[in-house]
Amino acid sequence: MKKTMFALAAASAMASGGAWAQNAGDWVIGAGWLRMSPQDSSKPLTFTAPVHSVVPGSGASVSDADTLGLSAVYFVDSHWAVEGVLGIPPKFKLDGEGTLARIGELGEARQWSPTILGKYYFNEGSSAFRPFVGLGATYVWYSDVKLTPGLQGALGSQVRQPPLSTSTTAKLDSSFAPVLNAGVAYQFDKNWGVSFSVSYIPLKTKAKLTTTSITGLPVATSEARLKLNPIVTYLSVTYRF
């Protein structure tokens, strides 16, 4: 009787484990909280025209940002998988530092950074708890770049223009960047689970600014170099099919 009960319990456990086994061809989609925390640094604001000059002691910092993350994982086999991740573009705020600190907020922009990762899952496919590591790449570009009136006025005064007589626009460079990733996944049952990951992206960009007069003629160009190097955390609810 005891042997029979033990055998039934073992069979039940194996069946339960097989119910959430991740095999070749499985898809796991996820949605949840994605947070980007720049580990930023910057170089001084530099005018490139009409004469080359550096604004001494100037700098900037980038705020953290939260957004909704979406992901899809395809299992090549029970260990290897490919994942695509995309967040609704978060809005980052840029604040002045050093000699620009008196201005406060300098501007804002939305960041687009779709990412693809190759991932390796530890433990067997039938395990509920599975750590993983990943390596991939992202392509980053920016939209809705806006500069505050405070920065607009400061740039105009640097080129000795009367207040409100100039307007400045900015463009941020796009770039590819590698992505290092690690995390854990837990499967509650055949379909539902949860995943948590941390990624590091060595990322930098250059802001190119053009200051024009009220007649539309350019009076100055300047640039600022930023290292963002964000740490990205992603906590998601997942569904396997």
198: CATH? 2.40.160.20
Q: Could you list the residue range(s) of the whole structural domain that residue 16 is in?
A: 2-240
Q: 3-state DSSP helix/strand/coil percent for the chain, to nearest 5?
A: 15, 60, 25
Which residues, 6 or more positions from 115, have their beta carbon under 8 angstroms from its beta carbon? 84, 85, 86, 136, 137, 138, 179, 199
Paired residues of 85 in beta bridges? 71, 115
Rounded to an integer, the average pLDDT of 206-233 is 93
Rounded alpha-carbon distances, angstroms, from residue 234 to 116, 199, 203: 14, 8, 18
Q: Rounded distance, CA 68 to CA 217, Å?
A: 41
What confidence tier does 215 reach under pLDDT thresholds 50, 70, 90? confident
pLDDT reported for residue 3: 47
229, 39 contact by CB (below 8 A) = yes
pLDDT in tens, 69-101: 999 999 999 999 999 999 999 999 999 999 999
Q: Per the structure, how many domains does the chain have?
A: 1
pLDDT in tens, 106-125: 999 999 999 999 999 999 99
Place of tokens 């930098």: 204
pLDDT reported for residue 20: 60
